[in-house]
Amino acid sequence: MSETIHSTLEERRVFPPPADFAAKAHIGTRAEYEKLYRESIDHPEQFFGRIAEELHWFKKWDKVLDWQVPNAKWFVGGKTNVAYNCLDRQIDLGRGDKTAILWEGEPETAAGAGGEVRKITYKQLRDDVSKLANGLKSIGVKKGDRVTIYMPMVPEAAVAMLACARIGAAHSVIFGGFSSQAIADRVDDAQCTVIITADGGYRRGTVVPLKRNVDDALTKTDRVKKVVVLNRCNMPVADGVAPGSIAWKEGRDVWYHDLVGTQSADCPAEPMDSEDTLFVLYTSGSTGKPKGIQHTTAGYLLGTYLTTKYVFDMKPDDVYWCTADVGWITGHSYIVYGPLANGTTCLMYEGAPNHPDFGRFWSIIERHKVSVFYTAPTAIRAFMKAGKEFPQKHDLSSLRLLGTVGEPINPEAWMWYHTVIGHEKCPIVDTWWQTETGAIMITPLPGVTPTKPGTATLPFFGVDAAIVDRSGKELGPNEGGLLVIRKPWPSMLRSIFNDPERYAKTYWSDVPGYYFTGDGARRDNDGYFWIMGRVDDVINVSGHRLGTMEIESALVAHEAVAEAAVVGIPHEMKGQGIAAFVTLETGRRADEALKKDLIAWVRKQIGALATPDQIRFTESLPKTRSGKIMRRLLKEVASGNEVKGDVTTLEDFSVLAKLKEKDEG
């Protein structure tokens, strides 16, 4: 990470928006952005009240904002429905026959021909959503319940989310890469009684055994009464042990096609209170237990609607593609809710970027004439390494705008994206935000903001971002500090599910009165924000957030392990990698076999995304006098750096201190 930061500090290149892009953009002048931004900060109720008029309401709000640190209520007293806004409203606006979801499956129909394609119009999507919504009601799902969704990247994943939203049940989507233990933990925490899943999902040429993982998870919790199973891979029902088969539990399991088969396509959308929960989504934090980030209805809808419209400069004839998985916040906000609330044609791809080879994304862009493309730096780095001959085999001239999200983008990757993919004509929006923020927070506006490789540039409307020290004092240009948000914004998280105290403590206590992001950053002389990475015990592996404590908990649950300390280390492709220092129970042998065993164990406990890159056996872990593990030291060791600095102090905010040292040096 330090290398990335070092090179971004020296970045001098500036890329103004192309004039023809700016001329056609929703917002095309700096003066317009500044005027709107000022209004959004000085008069948020006026600004957001006006934007909210663009959405559908069953009942208008009484008050735009009710704010008392740390509890925000937006559009108090209003009644709306997110699925109604994403479907019925679009149909009312004349978009009924427009393609809403343009889906491509992973397995190719013939070499080089791409996968199966499905085009679902807004009208069809409303029918599909309504049928499933009625189906869910028929198995007892009610307004206010939570439903787990553990699905491959197929249109039915979006249908399931929207069906929950339509009847007022909150969804809890779990990324298909998570293990059965992670499913069980999340089902229990959110108290879900229904799971929607599939027999399997295609990924990199193999079948991910989703149903089997769910069955496994349900041996660890008895909360779930119904499992709805989509037939994606035609896996035969058998004992579930035979390769490629699934097991079936009569009375509990129901086929998706049977559930929707007999249902009516008419399901009125439930008028929801602005502050009713839309979904819970788990993410990692500084402690061992993942947090159920809770988002509500109206503010989240407004935030994703507004950012999609302006950040991606969404136009009626765009074909927009966000390559995230719906299991992450990016998929929630920028595959499902934001694009559909804008009536966009949204591409969804089932599989891996490198299947059958590194040309897959580029062939999809060519085949479907994608105009706006949103992906992650880790993917761009992988494509860079694979070579530009892959994109060069394809016609990418339909592209007009590119975006990135998930981690700091190193300038080399930014430049490659700009030249090889964007052919120097597409603005790049480097968007900074979080699961907690619900929507994009710091970003260029593509028709307005001159971009520099490696910075997310300026705050979006309503976002009062600042760099401060721990007392809340704002720091000057180029001083590294804590990234905070000083005012509430519509799509902010409202709580951690069932744990309002943890919510207040985690986000609002480090810098009293301000929302603390967990990120370190600095502003340059133009006021641009440069994100330096996490300053807490969270690491960012390929754009996926993992808590070091979460991985440590998994390791110490292994019978051979006495103690474990996990740190993030710089990784060329993944941004950060995972190094685990492990001390063993007496009598256990520190050998290669055990290393392999521990790696497999962590994958089983959390999922493949948490696979340690290094396991290092050690006789003891360096600790402070008060018993805290000195991760900073371990980080240096694992990264192969010389160990410097005071070894008797607590780690605490030393990440920042170190960055400063480097900066000055």
Positions that interact with ligand WTA (CB under 6 A) = 283, 329-330, 405-408, 430-435, 456, 517-519, 531, 533-534, 540, 545
Composition of the chain by helix, strand, coil, percent to 5: 35, 25, 40
> Has 332 been labeled as part of a binding site?
no
Beta carbon nearer to ligand WTA, 192 or 539: 539
Q: Which tokens is 237 given?
A: 């029902």
Least separation in angstroms between residue 427's CB and ligand WTA is 15
Least separation in angstroms between residue 293's CB and ligand WTA is 8
> Has 408 been labeled as part of a binding site?
yes
Beta carbon nearer to ligand WTA, 200 or 438: 438
Nearest to 343 by CA among 319, 361, 316: 316
> Has 534 been labeled as part of a binding site?
yes
> Has 582 been labeled as part of a binding site?
no
> Has 205 been labeled as part of a binding site?
yes
> Has 354 been labeled as part of a binding site?
yes
Beta carbon nearer to ligand WTA, 409 or 580: 409
Neighbouring-strand partners of residue 581: 565, 616
Beta carbon nearer to ligand WTA, 368 or 631: 631
C-alpha 486 chain-centroid distance? 23
> Has 135 been labeled as part of a binding site?
no
Nearest to 524 by CA among 12, 113, 3, 171: 12
Residue 501 three-state SS: helix
Beta carbon nearer to ligand WTA, 382 or 556: 382
Cα–Cα distance for residue pair 489/74, rounded to 1 Å: 9
Beta carbon nearer to ligand WTA, 359 or 543: 543
> Has 519 been labeled as part of a binding site?
yes
Least separation in angstroms between residue 356's CB and ligand WTA is 28
Least separation in angstroms between residue 425's CB and ligand WTA is 22
In degrees and rounded to multiples of 5, residue 544 shows phi and psi of -105, 130
> Has 478 been labeled as part of a binding site?
no
Cβ neighbours of 487 (radius 10 Å): 17
Residue 527, by phi and psi: left (phi above 0), alpha (psi -120 to 50) or beta? left
Q: Which tokens is 576 given?
A: 């950060």
Least separation in angstroms between residue 94's CB and ligand WTA is 32
Q: What is the CA radius of gyration of the chain?
A: 24
Least separation in angstroms between residue 155's CB and ligand WTA is 23
Cα–Cα distance for residue pair 189/171, rounded to 1 Å: 13
> Has 13 been labeled as part of a binding site?
no
Least separation in angstroms between residue 459's CB and ligand WTA is 13
C-alpha 131 chain-centroid distance? 28
Least separation in angstroms between residue 133's CB and ligand WTA is 28
- Whether the CB-CB separation of 406 and 330 falls below 8 Å is answered with yes
Long-range pairs for 615-624 at CB < 8 Å and ≥24 separation? 615/580, 615/582, 616/579, 616/580, 616/581, 616/582, 617/582, 617/583, 617/584, 617/590, 618/581, 618/582, 618/583, 619/583, 620/583, 621/563, 621/565, 621/581, 621/583, 622/647, 624/648, 624/649, 624/650
Least separation in angstroms between residue 418's CB and ligand WTA is 15
Residue 490, by phi and psi: left (phi above 0), alpha (psi -120 to 50) or beta? alpha
Beta carbon nearer to ligand WTA, 133 or 281: 281
How far is CA 64 from each of CA 276, 299, 302, 364, rounded to the nearest angstrom? 15, 10, 12, 42
Least separation in angstroms between residue 525's CB and ligand WTA is 19
Least separation in angstroms between residue 409's CB and ligand WTA is 7
Cα–Cα distance for residue pair 253/258, rounded to 1 Å: 11
Least separation in angstroms between residue 529's CB and ligand WTA is 9
> Has 345 been labeled as part of a binding site?
no
Place of tokens 């190094």: 579
Residue 312 three-state SS: coil
Beta carbon nearer to ligand WTA, 360 or 545: 545
Place of tokens 């998280």: 493
Q: What is the DSSP string of 349-382?
A: E-S-TTSSSTTHHHHHHHHHT--EEEE-HHHHHH
Beta carbon nearer to ligand WTA, 5 or 218: 5
Tell me the one-letter amino acid at 413.
A
> Has 433 been labeled as part of a binding site?
yes
> Has 90 been labeled as part of a binding site?
no
Beta carbon nearer to ligand WTA, 181 or 333: 333
Cα–Cα distance for residue pair 188/193, rounded to 1 Å: 9
Cα–Cα distance for residue pair 231/145, rounded to 1 Å: 25
How far is CA 178 from each of CA 208, 252, 318, 568, 606, rounded to the nearest angstrom? 11, 22, 33, 20, 6
Beta carbon nearer to ligand WTA, 173 or 329: 329
Beta carbon nearer to ligand WTA, 309 or 545: 545
Q: Which residues are annotated as a binding site for ATP?
A: 406-408, 430-435, 519, 534, 545
Q: Which residues are annotated as a binding site?
A: 203-206, 330, 354, 406-408, 430-435, 519, 534, 542, 545, 556, 558, 561, 603
Q: Which residues are annotated as a binding site for CoA?
A: 203-206, 330, 354, 542, 603
Q: Which residues are annotated as a binding site for Mg(2+)?
A: 556, 558, 561
